[in-house]
Every structure is written in structure tokens, then in C-alpha cells.
């Protein structure tokens, strides 16, 4: 391990830098802990090593990397969708939209419209609900629709603007399904105990947060990128007493090192069109179900639509070196060059592995997830520490993200920093910050670090920045008081965790 602790701020008291706001907020930074987070992803260190950047000047490494990318004919972007596939996908979308579009004449059934409006209103989109009803010709003659619209208008008028600087952001890693396999005494046990959350803990956390009035929003609700590229504050309207929060999950790659440790192995679409996890039990049986954040939250919101603001779900922070969502889509699996040992072992164990099929399957899952409210962010391709990496190294890394991850997940304007390692201190990014300048030039506008304070939100005219809180074994064990605004750790704690949780 060549991990370095970035000697950034340990504890500072900061005033909020909200543009125009200047509301003093106490911000406690503990980047040391932030740095120490995420250490379970030790594979990334190997991934970094394969670049050979440590032994060369960054510029040389970068141009060599570019040359390699350009020269390797096998190393084509994963994006290429044939026109036929594109057409099929388009047709699929059209058919689904036609089925969902209740405002068309053929489906302008009163009950269907009322149902659609009801769901929009349950998710606080009262304006959308009213439009759904009013924009249909039946509205003029339907008492039911008029009554419903009037009720939604009343509810809309009763909403209050939620203070953006008081929006907390919580995050998780892949959830532990089988604690006896994760905590089996092998070398990964300590990291899992520190950095991961179990399925039972996660289910309890979201139930308690829901009961306490929390509602899931997106950073894209908190800040809006204008057509001219500048950023403005968003407006989140909620009934009084509701509390907005953001949720993200890091490293949803189902890395090779997690095999046989009691985690899900990939996200799939089931026969009902729902996103589920594939999970291989200890006896080798493969089952499909709610074994990680995505399907658990989907099922919960299906039952409690009012946990989501305008249909929002969470954000997945994605690397690329082991592929995405359990699909081995990185270029190395195709070129078979620069493979790590676990990648070689995977290919050897799966002689029928078909790279193109893999990419296609991943894209299908991503498409369904996006339509269902999920969003994706870059977590850097190689789980790089953006604080200690140079701007040139981050550029090389981001090119790989753009080449192998973006074609599958789509473009993103958000970076969720690996290790929580930010590219600037709490005061904000300055125009002479080369890393920020580069990321900005590639379209990134939303940046998230790790911060133990309840709220850390910066919205300037250029970018959005938010701190995230780890709700994992380490935090729950050592600092339960820091989570008391969210839940009582004693009600959530999974007693099958070995204690004490190892110190970092």
C-alpha cells in the first residue's frame, strides 16, 4: 500500500460560502477520517500501479497513455452501438412511453390520470400532478379530476422552500448480505467492518429516516447549471416538517476482491423489469433479489413513494477498472493487456466471456436505472486520490473514465471523490486550481468529498460542492453521537459485527 495521508485540514471552523447567503454554518472538517475512508478498495492501488506512472514523469506517462489509447486497435470505446441496436432501443423506448403516456387519447382514462397525478403529488411534484390533470380534455367535465387538482394546489401552496445549506448527504458502499462470509477472519474482514454497512442496518436506517420525515433529493435539485454554464441555486419545495437529504453509494462495481465475501455480484433486470441484485450464496446457488442499496431502496420507495422527491433515487459513484455494476466492461477485459491477477483469474474461470455482450447487458441495466431516477457520478476510473495526484495524473485517469465508463453510464457532471480526497480545501476552488480547471473543462460541476459534519454545502456561480457522511461500521461504532440527527445507532447496529471495529 502506498497510501499517503494528505496533510489537509484536520479541524477547522468555517463559515458557509453559500453564494449570496453568507449564513454562518459550523463546518467541522475531518479529512483525516475522510482520507482513511474507502480503504477497502485496495485493488485500486494495483490498478494505479499498472499505469507505471510512479516511475515516470507525469507528462511522459500521460502522453504515453494517450498514445497507447490511440494506437491500440483492439482497445475501442465500449460505446459503439450498432445502428440496428440503436433502432431497437429507440423502439423499445417509444413503446414504453406509449404505454405510460396517459395523456394520449387512447389512454385518457380518468382513473389512470388520477393515479398518475396521485403519484406525482405523493412525490411532492404538485405542479406536475396539476398539469397531468389540467392538460387533459376530460378535466373540464370531470368533478373528480377538478377536486384532485384543487387539493393539490392547496398542498402546493402549503409547501415551504427547504434551506439548501441544511441538506445532509449520506453514503454507503456495497452492503454486506451475509455477515458470516464478510466477517470470516480473512484479510478483508477489517475493511468490511470499518467501511461497509450490512443489509439489515441499511434497511433499518432508511425506515427510521423515512419515519422521521426525510425525503430523498438530488444535488441536481439543489443547484442548476444554466445554459451559459453558470450555476444557480435550485429550489426544493417540501411540506413543512419534511427534511431533504441526498444518498449515494460508492464503488458499485462488485470488485473481484469481494467474490465469495457475502456481497451481491451484479445488478440485473428481472422479469418484471425491476432492477435486482444477483447474489451467489455460500453453497453456490445464484439467487436474484434485494441484496444491495439499489433494489432495497427501489422496493422501499415503491411502498413509500413519499420518500422520494420528484422520483429521485440515489447517486452511484463509479470507478472503471473492474467494470461497472458487476459487468466486466473495462477495456482490459477486451484487449487482455495489463490485466491484474484477479482479472486474469476471472477470464480463465469464464472462457465464454463475451466483451460486447457484457457491455450491452450493462447498458441495458443502466438505462433502466436512469429511467427509474438513479444517477451516476465519476469516482475516478482508478479510485485515485485526487488530493495527492497531480492534475496530469487526474487527466490521464479521467480519459479512461470517459473512454470505458461514460459510454455505458452516460456523461456525468458530478465527481464523488475517491477516499473523499478533494481537489481544494473548504474555502473553495480558485481559478488557479489546475485540477479544478481541468475537471471543469470536462463538464464537471458537482463535486462531493467526505465530511463528518451534518451539513457541508457550497453553491457558487460556478460549481456545487457537498460533504458526505459515511454511515458505516467505523462511524457507528466510534461516533454514534455524530449520527444522532439521523438515527439512534443502538436501534440499527448489526450485532453480528465483530467488535471492537478495528481502528483506522
Q: How far is the CB of 379 from Zn ion (least distance, A)?
A: 6
- Which residue has the closest beta carbon to Zn ion? 38
237 near Zn ion, judged by CB under 5 A: no
Q: How far is the CB of 97 from Zn ion (least distance, A)?
A: 35
Compute the Cα dihedral for 116, 118, 121, 127 and give only its sign: positive
Q: How far is the CB of 93 from Zn ion (least distance, A)?
A: 32
Choose, by CB under 5 A, the member of 250, 298, 375, 422 that binds Zn ion: 250
Nearer to Zn ion, 316 or 366 (CB): 316
251 near Zn ion, judged by CB under 5 A: yes
Which position has the grid cell 470505458?
404
Q: Which stretch binds Zn ion (CB under 5 A): 35-43, 119-127, 349-357, 363-371?
A: 35-43
Q: Which stretch binds Zn ion (CB under 5 A): 257-265, 400-408, 410-418, 430-438?
A: 410-418
Q: How far is the CB of 348 from Zn ion (least distance, A)?
A: 27
Helix (H) or strand (E) holding 341: helix 341-349
Nearer to Zn ion, 17 or 389 (CB): 389
Q: Are 447 and 465 in contact (CB under 8 A)?
A: yes
Q: How far is the CB of 219 from Zn ion (least distance, A)?
A: 18
Nearer to Zn ion, 102 or 449 (CB): 449
β-strand partners of 276: 268
36 near Zn ion, judged by CB under 5 A: no
Q: How far is the CB of 451 from Zn ion (least distance, A)?
A: 15
Nearer to Zn ion, 419 or 463 (CB): 419
Q: Are 123 and 310 in contact (CB under 8 A)?
A: yes
Which position has the grid cell 396539476?
130
Q: Which stretch binds Zn ion (CB under 5 A): 146-154, 198-206, 244-252, 455-463?
A: 244-252
Q: Which stretch binds Zn ion (CB under 5 A): 178-186, 250-258, 459-467, 473-481?
A: 250-258
Alpha carbon distances (Å) from 151 to 46, 138, 145, 146, 310: 58, 18, 10, 9, 18
Choose, by CB under 5 A, the member of 35, 38, 298, 413 that binds Zn ion: 38
Nearer to Zn ion, 214 or 381 (CB): 381
Q: How far is the CB of 336 from Zn ion (least distance, A)?
A: 26
Nearer to Zn ion, 295 or 420 (CB): 420
**Residues making up the chain, counted from first to last:** 504
What is the total count of residues that contact Zn ion (CB under 5 A)?
Answer: 4
Q: How far is the CB of 41 from Zn ion (least distance, A)?
A: 5
- Which among 95, 156, 146, 108 has a CA at the least distance from the CA of 310? 156
Neighbour count for residue 179 (Cβ, 10 Å): 21
Q: Which stretch binds Zn ion (CB under 5 A): 36-44, 273-281, 388-396, 486-494?
A: 36-44
472 near Zn ion, judged by CB under 5 A: no
Nearer to Zn ion, 308 or 380 (CB): 380
Alpha carbon distances (Å) from 1 to 47, 117, 393, 472: 12, 54, 18, 22
Nearer to Zn ion, 123 or 449 (CB): 449
Which position has the grid cell 490521464?
396
Alpha carbon distances (Å) from 74 to 68, 71, 155, 336, 397: 11, 9, 57, 9, 19
Site string for Zn ion, 84-123 (x = CB under 5 A): ----------------------------------------
Nearer to Zn ion, 114 or 318 (CB): 318
Q: How far apart are alpha carbons 426 and 466 in whole angstroms?
A: 10
Q: How far apart are alpha carbons 51 and 56 in whole angstroms?
A: 10
- Which among 201, 300, 292 has a CA at the least distance from the CA of 250? 292
Nearer to Zn ion, 125 or 330 (CB): 330
Instruction: Give the largest CA-CA distance in the chain.
Output: 76
SS3 content of the chain, % helix, strand, coil (to 5): 45, 15, 40
Helix (H, G, I), strand (E, B) or coil at 181: helix
Q: How far is the CB of 383 from Zn ion (least distance, A)?
A: 6
Alpha carbon distances (Å) from 471 to 171, 202, 474, 483, 500: 6, 9, 8, 8, 17
Cα 324 → chain centroid = 12
Nearer to Zn ion, 221 or 250 (CB): 250
Nearer to Zn ion, 315 or 418 (CB): 418
Helices (H), 196-257: 199-211, 219-222
Choose, by CB under 5 A, the member of 175, 268, 415, 418 that binds Zn ion: 418
* Degrees, nearest 5: CA angle 276-281-285: 90
Q: How far is the CB of 37 from Zn ion (least distance, A)?
A: 8
The number of helix segments (H) and strand segments (E) in the chain equals: 20, 16
Residues that bind Zn ion (CB under 5 A): 38, 250-251, 418
Amino acid at each position: 500500500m502506498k497510501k499517503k495521508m494528505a496533510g489537509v485540514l484536520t479541524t477547522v471552523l468555517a463559515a458557509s460560502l453559500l453564494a449570496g447567503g453568507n449564513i454562518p454554518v459550523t463546518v467541522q472538517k475531518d479529512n483525516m477520517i475522510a482520507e482513511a475512508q474507502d480503504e477497502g478498495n485496495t485493488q485500486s492501488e494495483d490498478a494505479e500501479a499498472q499505469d507505471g506512472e510512479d516511475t515516470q514523469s507525469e507528462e511522459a506517462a500521460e502522453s504515453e497513455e494517450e498514445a497507447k489509447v490511440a494506437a491500440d486497435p483492439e482497445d475501442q470505446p465500449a460505446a459503439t452501438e450498432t445502428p440496428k441496436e440503436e433502432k431497437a432501443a429507440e423502439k423499445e423506448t417509444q413503446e414504453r412511453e406509449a404505454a405510460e403516456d396517459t395523456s394520449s387519447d387512447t389512454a385518457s382514462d380518468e382513473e389512470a390520470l388520477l393515479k398518475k397525478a396521485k403519484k406525482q403529488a405523493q412525490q411532492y411534484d404538485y405542479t406536475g400532478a396539476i398539469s397531468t390533470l389540467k392538460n387533459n380534455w376530460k378535466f373540464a367535465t370531470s368533478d373528480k379530476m377538478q377536486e384532485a387538482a384543487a387539493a393539490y394546489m392547496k398542498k402546493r401552496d402549503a409547501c415551504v422552500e427547504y434551506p439548501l445549506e441544511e441538506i445532509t448527504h449520506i453514503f454507503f458502499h456495497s452492503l454486506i448480505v451475509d455477515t458470516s462470509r464478510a466477517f470470516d477472519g480473512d484479510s478483508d474482514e477489517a475493511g468490511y467492518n470499518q467501511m461497509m454497512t450490512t443489509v439489515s442496518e441499511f434497511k433499518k436506517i432508511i425506515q427510521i429516516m423515512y419515519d422521521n420525515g426525510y425525503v430523498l433529493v438530488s444535488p441536481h435539485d439543489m443547484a442548476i447549471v444554466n445554459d451559459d454554464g453558470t450555476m444557480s441555486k435550485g429550489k426544493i419545495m417540501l411540506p413543512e416538517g419534511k427534511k431533504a437529504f441526498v444518498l449515494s453509494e460508492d464503488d458499485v462495481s462488485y470488485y473481484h476482491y469481494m467474490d465469495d465475501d457475502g456481497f451481491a455480484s451484479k445488478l440485473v433486470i428481472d422479469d418484471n423489469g425491476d432492477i435486482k441484485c444477483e447474489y451467489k450464496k455460500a453453497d453456490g446457488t445464484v439467487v436474484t433479489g434485494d441484496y444491495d442499496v439499489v433494489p432495497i431502496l427501489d422496493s422501499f420507495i415503491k411502498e413509500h413513494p413519499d420518500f422520494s422527491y420528484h422520483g429521485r433515487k440515489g447517486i452511484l459513484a463509479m470507478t472503471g477498472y473492474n467494470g461497472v455494476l458487476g459487468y466486466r466492461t473495462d477495456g482490459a477485459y477486451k484487449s487482455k493487456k495489463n490485466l491484474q491477477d484477479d482479472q486474469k483469474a476471472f477470464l480463465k474461470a469464464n472462457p465464454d466471456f463475451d466483451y460486447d455482450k457484457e457491455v450491452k447487458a450493462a447498458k441495458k441495466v443502466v438505462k433502466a436505472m436512469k429511467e427509474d431516477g438513479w444517477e451516476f457520478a465519476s469516482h475516478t476510473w482508478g479510485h485515485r486520490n485526487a488530493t495527492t495526484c497531480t492534475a496530469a495524473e487526474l487527466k490521464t485517469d479521467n480519459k479512461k473514465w470517459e473512454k470505458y465508463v461514460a459510454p455505458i453510464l452516460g456523461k456525468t457532471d458530478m465527481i464523488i471523490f475517491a477516499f473523499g480526497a478533494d481537489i481544494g480545501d473548504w474555502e473553495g476552488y480558485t481559478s488557479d486550481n489546475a485540477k479544478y480547471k481541468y475537471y471543469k473543462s470536462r463538464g464537471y460541476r458537482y463535486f462531493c468529498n467526505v465530511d463528518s459534519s451534518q451539513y457541508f454545502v457550497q453553491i457558487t456561480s460556478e460549481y456545487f460542492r457537498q460533504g458526505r457522511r459515511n454511515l458505516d461500521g467505523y462511524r457507528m461504532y466510534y461516533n454514534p453521537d455524530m449520527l444522532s440527527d439521523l438515527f439512534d445507532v443502538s436501534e440499527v447496529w448489526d450485532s453480528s459485527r465483530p467488535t471492537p471495529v478495528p481502528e483506522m
